Chain A
Amino acid sequence: LLSGLRNLVGSKALSADDVRPALEKMKEQLIGKNVAADIADKLCESIRTKLEGRVLGTFTTIASTVKETLYDSCVQILSPHRRVNILRDAMEAKQQHRPYTIVFCGVNGVGKSTNLAKVTFWLVENGFRVLIAACDTFRAGAVEQLRTHTRKLNALHPPQDHNGVQMVQLYEKGYGKDAASIAMEAINFARDTRIDVVLVDTAGRMQDNEPLMRALAKLITVNQPDLVLFVGEALVGNEAVDQLVKFNQALADNSDRREPRLIDGILLTKFDTIDDKVGAAISMTYVTGQPVVFVGTGQTYTDLRNLNAKAVVSALLKG
């Protein structure tokens, strides 16, 4: 009974010692929900700073105060300061008679090509013509994978439904070629043939593989896409932090501009495979400060969503 009462701090100001046990518990919960350990640490530290010295109302417990504060912090982390509005920007580019370009990058097997196909579907549903640039010239079957998607997407949106226009085209030069040049040719081709959007698929690469990271930076510097999307899977653990830091670092290091192009947004995939272990969303947005532009929730073309920050945080904090 006594310890229960002690938890109901009356008018005394909170000390670091008061909040530590509740924060330790929260940190453990965050890690269990797949937030990177380092980020969970920093988050709890910021909550401690926020709460220290605060005076709680009579029947408010420390645990509930910690939880509420953490809830707000997490929602804030997930809520972008900057909105990425692809449909609006693509429309604007169209009016300027230039193709709107998105580059998809990330480590191996996270879902770049599949989600590129989903984004294509979404753009076509919104009336845009899309050119898919097959710039993964390394992984076996990468080109055929995109060709299959192109065929299926055109079957779903046949020319007869679009004034005889073929909505999706593939730009490919087979394997072994320089990805940056293919992307450039594709963008020029789109400009010449009045295609609205170019989606550039790139090969998966580990963030520590310097030659491959340099090649990606070159592709982005040379082509200056409108949007650089980092594709990361919701399954990833602590590695999420290292991936994002090093992708950004490689883009910065290998740029010849004063304002290098960095990651503009995140596409979070395989969200359907993690139950309530939603922590990767927090890790990725915390590190980059960039918004989750899309969430991949399955393997079909319609499995693409916006992030629901409140739902994610509720899952995160649910005991």
Chain B
Amino acid sequence: MVLADLGRKITTALRSLSTATVINEEVLNAMLKEICAALLEADVNIKLVKKLRENVRAVIDFEEMAAGLNKRRMIQSAVFKQLVKLVDPGVKAWQPTKGKCNVIMFVGLQGSGKTTTCTKLAYYYQKKNWKSCLVCADTFRAGAFDQVKQNATKARIPFYGSYTEPDPVVIAQEGVTKFKDEGFEIIIVDTSGRHKQEESLFEEMLQVSNAVTPDNVVFVMDATIGQACESQARAFGEKVDVASVIITKLDGHAKGGGALSAVAATGSPIIFIGTGEHIDDFEPFKVQPFISKLLGMGDIEGLIDK
């Protein structure tokens, strides 16, 4: 299970409420301290952790609270709400329309897993009988087109790219037009890795986006990232219309909490997670089941809606 460590620590902290004889300021603070430490160890952005603590504190006011109120339940529910807020931006995830041409553009930092994940996504839809294809608009990285070509060939996915055209905007436009004409339903555009500090790379991303007018821009984030995620994710979201997040490399030991800040920073939901290098190491992501699994709770919806 992804983020199992974090889940265990948070559950332990919450349990301290049940063992305490009285619930007071001190108990609450101790519990929050434990939870915040666990979140920080999992790389969750420090600003988000602080906000989470403040938000829980704001809901719980011991002086105002009427006697007899179930403080335990109120605190638990406040913590749940805040945790859900970390992974749930409150907007519906984008869905492709069957029988129509859906253009999906991938963006993200260098080496985050875009190219690998492009193939995974195309394969995912192909298996569900959508007509899927790939466009390689990375002309910068050495061997980028070969990588797409080999991946796509192995998965029998049609692809478009060029060894000679240096302009990614031209390739993206040509590829998308060609596949649109041929009636493809899922057209995935892979782009070069880039970072906010290099303005020309961001400008290029905008131009590719303008050229292909994607229906969905996917921001790909590596699960091992730490505190630098937030500002990068925000910058990507400000430059192009990021509508979804995919978190990669969640196999093994990865903490994953750093990447979660991409949700708040872009206001976009996580739609899939990558759990390995192979083409089917890929799972759809849903917030509520994720949180309940994380905290080992059967049904938390009851708690949250109260």
Give A contacts to B, CB under 8 Å.
Answer: 28, 31-34, 37-38, 107-111, 113-114, 117, 138-149, 152, 206-209, 233-240, 242-243, 246, 270, 272-275, 277, 279-280, 299
Contact B112 A109 (CB under 8 A): yes
Q: Is residue B254 contacting chain A, with contact meaning CB distance below 8 A?
A: yes
- Chain B residues whose C-beta falls within 8 Å of the C-beta of A146 in the assembled complex: 142-143
Which of A114, A141, A235, A299 touches B225 (beta carbons < 8 Å)?
Answer: A235
Contact A237 B143 (CB under 8 A): no
- Chain B residues whose C-beta falls within 8 Å of the C-beta of A144 in the assembled complex: 142-143, 146-147
- Chain A residues whose C-beta falls within 8 Å of the C-beta of B37 in the assembled complex: 37
- Closest A residue to B40 by beta carbon equals A37
Identify whether the interface residues of B are mostly helix, strand, loop, or mixed: loop
- Closest A residue to B231 by beta carbon equals A275
Q: CA of A277 to CA of B43 in the docked complex: distance in angstroms?
A: 13
Contact A209 B252 (CB under 8 A): yes
Contact A33 B146 (CB under 8 A): no
Q: Is residue B55 contacting chain A, with contact meaning CB distance below 8 A?
A: no
Contact B258 A109 (CB under 8 A): no
Contact A148 B142 (CB under 8 A): yes
- Chain A residues whose C-beta falls within 8 Å of the C-beta of B145 in the assembled complex: 141
Q: CA of A31 to CA of B268 in the docked complex: distance in angstroms?
A: 25
Q: CA of A277 to CA of B231 in the docked complex: distance in angstroms?
A: 11
* Given A237-B258, A238-B41: A28 and B46 interface contact (C-beta under 8 Å): yes
Contact B232 A273 (CB under 8 A): yes
Q: Is residue B226 contacting chain A, with contact meaning CB distance below 8 A?
A: yes
Contact B42 A238 (CB under 8 A): yes
A185 to chain B, nearest CB (A): 22
* Given A141-B146, A148-B143, A273-B197: A111 and B111 interface contact (C-beta under 8 Å): yes
- Chain A residues whose C-beta falls within 8 Å of the C-beta of B197 in the assembled complex: 272-273, 275
Q: Which B22-49 residues have a C-beta within 8 angstroms of A? A: 37, 40-43, 46
Contact A237 B226 (CB under 8 A): yes
- Chain B residues whose C-beta falls within 8 Å of the C-beta of A107 in the assembled complex: 224, 249
Residue among A28, A107, A235, A274 having the largest count of chain B Cβ atoms under 10 Å: A235
Q: Which B54-81 residues have a C-beta within 8 angstroms of A? A: none
Contact indicator per residue, chain B 131-167, by CB within 8 Å of chain A (1) or not (0): 0000000001111111111110010000000000000
* Given A34-B226, A273-B228: A139 and B146 interface contact (C-beta under 8 Å): no
- Chain A residues whose C-beta falls within 8 Å of the C-beta of B142 in the assembled complex: 113-114, 117, 144-146, 148-149, 152
Give the tally of cross-chain contacts (CB within 8 A): 141
* Given A272-B195, A275-B228, A277-B228: A235 and B143 interface contact (C-beta under 8 Å): no
- Chain B residues whose C-beta falls within 8 Å of the C-beta of A148 in the assembled complex: 142-143
A267 to chain B, nearest CB (A): 14
- Chain B residues whose C-beta falls within 8 Å of the C-beta of A152 in the assembled complex: 142
Contact A110 B111 (CB under 8 A): yes
Q: Is residue B120 contacting chain A, with contact meaning CB distance below 8 A?
A: no
Q: List 20 A-B contacts (CB under 8 A).
A: A38-B41, A108-B111, A108-B277, A109-B249, A138-B277, A139-B277, A140-B146, A141-B148, A146-B143, A148-B142, A149-B142, A206-B249, A206-B253, A236-B224, A237-B225, A237-B227, A238-B255, A243-B224, A273-B109, A277-B226
- Closest B residue to A149 by beta carbon equals B142
- Chain A residues whose C-beta falls within 8 Å of the C-beta of B174 in the assembled complex: none
Q: Is residue B251 contacting chain A, with contact meaning CB distance below 8 A?
A: yes
Contact A31 B110 (CB under 8 A): no
Q: CA of A146 to CA of B154 in the docked complex: distance in angstroms?
A: 21
- Chain A residues whose C-beta falls within 8 Å of the C-beta of B185 in the assembled complex: none
Residue among B142, B198, B252, B277 having the largest count of chain A Cβ atoms under 10 Å: B142
Q: Is residue B222 contacting chain A, with contact meaning CB distance below 8 A?
A: yes
- Chain B residues whose C-beta falls within 8 Å of the C-beta of A31 in the assembled complex: 40, 46, 227
Q: Is residue B267 contacting chain A, with contact meaning CB distance below 8 A?
A: no
